[in-house]
Amino acid sequence: MPALPAQTDTALTALTLVGMAAALGGWIGGAALVETGGLIVVYLAGGVPATVRALGALWRERVLDIDLLMVIAAIAAAAVGAPMEGAVLLTLFSLSNTLENRAMGRARRAVEALMALRPDTALRRDGDSVHEVVAADLRPGDIVVLRPGARVPVDGEIVTGEGAIDEATITGESMPVRKGPGAAVHEATVNLNGVLDMRVARAIGQSTVARMIRLVTEAQAARAPSERFSAWFGQRYTVAVLGGAILAFGVFLWLGRSPDEAMYRAATLLVAASPCAIVISVPAAILSALSAAARGGVLFKGGGAIEALAAVRAFAFDKTGTLTTGQAEVTQMQAIALPEADFLARLAGIEAHSEHPIAEAVRREVVRRGVTPVPVANVTAFPSEGIVGEDGDAPIWAGNPRMARRMAADTDLPELSRLNEAAQTMVFLGQGRRILGAVAVADRPRASAQPGLTALRDGGVRHIAMMTGDRRPVADRIGRELGFSQDEIHADLLAADKVSLVAGMAGERGGVAFVGDGVNDAAALARADVGIAMGAAGSEVALQAADVALLSEDLTRLAEAHRLARRTAAIIRQNLVFAIGAMVILVLGAAFFELPMPVAVIGHEGGTLLVVLNGLRLLGDPIRGDRRRDKGTPRFKGDAAPAA
């Protein structure tokens, strides 16, 4: 709608206000010249841009928009000798327009600001010397020196040194995170006190966060359902109001009023009946909420996602990487008929290709033990099962019992009984039908999982389920720890099982949200009414499929986002009820009770302003996390993945 740049728009509105003040001053003080001068300023500064916009819309898009109604009403008022009323109308109209534009700009900037913080140059280590280079010239594999206080120019991994990293720009989390060799560091975060060497993982603009923000800004162009409704409604209604005013003009004439008075009444009716407040009540609230959420590390892909989340009454959670930390640990290892180091080298070689949290645990173990991975080529991932590659004659694979069955390997070996007894995730390594050994991987619930679930239940969510591809004993242990009842824990699931469980929940419970991180969650994320991805930590496909991305791993923010969404829906309802109510009263007054035009003008534009301000209240309602928990340690996909 706004064709003018923000500054010009603001300047014109200011000019309109000045003109209005002069006109009123002149009128009160009896200075006719000042009054007329002021009115001319108002009609030019307030009326001409609106006319241009309205005619532009009519010409290019063949839409009659509300701008046109306002301009016609003001001109009609001036024509029947009530220029002051027309001027008040134009002034308040440009004021509410400007406020609306500012709210929109603010929502957009909150997201863009996340990206603006990247430094332009970086210190690159070339052999023994260090050079300052343009950050855009950094290539994967380059070593960058980070001095204390420096912003991280690109995504990468710490090679040497240790220090506290402030990730508030990305996660909204104010507590710094300690990081050392092997840890991932992210574009636009700040190295507070370490002297670090980092290896560049991705060229500039390719970071997970950059891609995520692109995804979100593109998606936000899509309008919320209620926004679409109000736009559609506004269009039909505008035509009806114009027709109604013309009809009223005829009726008043027929009732024996003078042409001037009939015109005045028709113009009053036009003002009273214009749906400005109705049309703006939804975007004012949605844009403010989007912006408040973005500042708290929750990115909604558009207003539709907010409205859908507000209606959600049931949540389903993936386990690994969502309810549990991405920081799984290898706790036990059993090699069969080969040295442990060889076993681990081959396991690491194949897991080097995986984005799964288990793969990451294996890679960390390899670094800890100083083992060099054996490269494995031609790798294929089987979500919820494992991963297969080529290594000599028989395929080499890693995964769960389902994977072993696929390879016709027998996992029921006496050597592995000790690992089997622990209620931990087991990963078998095999070559063809032969099992080479297994590791047990323990993952812990996130510190924020329990409080996050409690906050959701406190917020009125009655049904929460856990869905995992992991085996039953592990699922039960973690689930019980988090307070799930037995029938809320679903284990041994494939991606398709998650989808049908989510669909079942949707059938029984109304709106369902699915929260997940993995490749095997993408279908369920898409099927749910609202898909929520563990943004920075999750896989790219999960992010694509989701409607909401959590940049922070703090699950209490999920409950906060749910609360914000419900509050937004409530404010939209308030706005619509108020706007429609006010309009009905004004229209009845104008049609039957000789409502004076100034009252119609102030009632109409004042109502619009109130609705905008009511929506803007959401800006002051940011999403806050729980400071003490999961100190924003995001695990980014592709962490420490050596190119094998």
Please state the length of the chain: 644
Query: Cβ(89)–Cβ(276) under 8 Å?
Result: no
Q: How far is the CB of 51 from Mg ion (least distance, A)?
A: 56
Interface with Mg ion, residue 518, by CB under 5 A: yes
Residue spans of alpha helices (H) in 593-619: 597-616
- The amino acid sitting at 73 is A
Strand pairing category for 530-533 and 548-550: parallel
Q: Identify which range of 332-340, 396-404, 499-507, 610-618 contacts ligand ADP by CB under 6 A.
A: 396-404
Distance CA 557, CA 562 (A): 8
Q: Residue 427 binds what, of ligand ADP, Mg ion, none (CB under 5 to 8 Å, by partner type)?
A: ligand ADP
Interface with ligand ADP, residue 387, by CB under 6 A: yes
Q: How far is the CB of 383 from ligand ADP (least distance, A)?
A: 6
Q: Closest-CB residue for ligand ADP?
A: 469
Q: How far is the CB of 323 from Mg ion (least distance, A)?
A: 9
Query: Cβ(309)–Cβ(427) under 8 Å?
Result: no
Residue number, 65 or 547, with CB nearest to Mg ion: 547
Distance CA 175, CA 164 (A): 9
Question: At how many degrees (to 10) do helices 66-79 and 83-112 cross?
Answer: 160
Query: Cβ(461)–Cβ(315) under 8 Å?
Result: yes
Q: Taking CB under 6 A as the rule, which mask of x and - marks residues 116-155 in contact with ligand ADP?
A: ----------------------------------------
CA 276, distance to chain mean position in Å, is 28
Residues 6+ apart with CB under 8 A from 349: 373, 374, 375, 376, 389, 391, 396, 644
Q: Identify which range of 66-74, 216-224, 466-474, 598-606 contacts ligand ADP by CB under 6 A.
A: 466-474
Q: Residue 468 binds what, of Mg ion, ligand ADP, none (CB under 5 to 8 Å, by partner type)?
A: ligand ADP
Distance CA 117, CA 151 (A): 8
Among 468, 568, 575, 614, binds ligand ADP (CB under 6 A): 468
β-partners of residue 124 are 131, 144
Interface with ligand ADP, residue 391, by CB under 6 A: no
Active-site residue list: 318
Q: Residue 386 binds what, of Mg ion, ligand ADP, none (CB under 5 to 8 Å, by partner type)?
A: ligand ADP
CA 543, distance to chain mean position in Å, is 11
Selection from 183, 193, 169, 163 nearest residue 119 by Cα: 169
Q: How far is the CB of 520 from Mg ion (least distance, A)?
A: 7
Question: At how many degrees (to 10) do helices 340-351 and 357-369 cross?
Answer: 140
Q: How far is the CB of 507 from ligand ADP (least distance, A)?
A: 22
Q: How far is the CB of 538 from ligand ADP (least distance, A)?
A: 10
Residue number, 324 or 575, with CB nearest to ligand ADP: 324
Among 9, 166, 318, 553, binds ligand ADP (CB under 6 A): 318
Structure letter (DSSP) for residue 47: I
- Reduced 3-state DSSP string for 124-182: EEECCEEEEEEHHHCCCCCEEEECCCCECCCCEEEEECCEEEECHHHHCCCCCEEECCC
Q: How far is the CB of 424 from ligand ADP (least distance, A)?
A: 10
Interface with ligand ADP, residue 325, by CB under 6 A: no
Residue number, 288 or 320, with CB nearest to Mg ion: 320
Angle, vertex CA 391, rays to CA 389 and CA 393, nearest 5: 115
Residues 6+ apart with CB under 8 A from 619: 103, 106, 288, 291, 292
Q: How far is the CB of 492 from ligand ADP (least distance, A)?
A: 9
Interface with Mg ion, residue 517, by CB under 5 A: yes
Q: How far is the CB of 495 from Mg ion (least distance, A)?
A: 11
Residue number, 356 or 562, with CB nearest to ligand ADP: 356
Q: Closest-CB residue for Mg ion?
A: 518
Interface with ligand ADP, residue 298, by CB under 6 A: no
Interface with Mg ion, residue 227, by CB under 5 A: no
Q: How far is the CB of 468 from Mg ion (least distance, A)?
A: 7
Among 200, 359, 419, 571, binds ligand ADP (CB under 6 A): 359
Q: Residue 572 binds what, of Mg ion, ligand ADP, none (CB under 5 to 8 Å, by partner type)?
A: none
Interface with ligand ADP, residue 386, by CB under 6 A: yes
Interface with ligand ADP, residue 398, by CB under 6 A: yes
Q: Taking CB under 6 A as the rule, which mask of x and - marks residues 422-461 in contact with ligand ADP?
A: ---x-x----------------------------------
Residue number, 359 or 409, with CB nearest to Mg ion: 359
Residues 6+ apart with CB under 8 A from 640: 157, 182, 184, 360, 363, 364, 367
Among 169, 268, 281, 320, binds ligand ADP (CB under 6 A): 320
β-partners of residue 123 are 132, 145
Interface with Mg ion, residue 321, by CB under 5 A: yes
Dihedrals φ, ψ of 396, to 5°?
-100, 140
The position carrying tokens 């006719």 is 32
Interface with ligand ADP, residue 365, by CB under 6 A: no
Find the distance separating the first CA and the last CA of the chain, reported in whole Å.
Answer: 52
Interface with ligand ADP, residue 639, by CB under 6 A: no
Interface with Mg ion, residue 318, by CB under 5 A: yes
Q: Residue 349 binds what, of Mg ion, ligand ADP, none (CB under 5 to 8 Å, by partner type)?
A: none
Distance CA 462, CA 66 (A): 43
Query: Cβ(92)–Cβ(606) under 8 Å?
Result: yes
Give the burial class of 331: count Cβ atoms within 10 A of its Cβ; 0-12 exposed, 13-18 middle, 19 or more buried: middle
Interface with ligand ADP, residue 553, by CB under 6 A: no
Distance CA 195, CA 173 (A): 22
Among 268, 320, 425, 575, binds Mg ion (CB under 5 A): 320
Distance CA 100, CA 106 (A): 10
Q: How far is the CB of 193 from ligand ADP (least distance, A)?
A: 35
Interface with ligand ADP, residue 356, by CB under 6 A: yes
b/e burial code for range 589-602 (CB count within 10 A of at least 16 → b): bbbeeebebbbbbb
Interface with ligand ADP, residue 469, by CB under 6 A: yes
Interface with ligand ADP, residue 321, by CB under 6 A: yes
Residues that bind Mg ion (CB under 5 A): 318, 320-321, 517-518
* Residues of this chain that bind ligand ADP (CB under 6 A): 318-321, 351, 354, 356, 358-359, 384-387, 398-400, 425, 427, 468-470, 518, 520
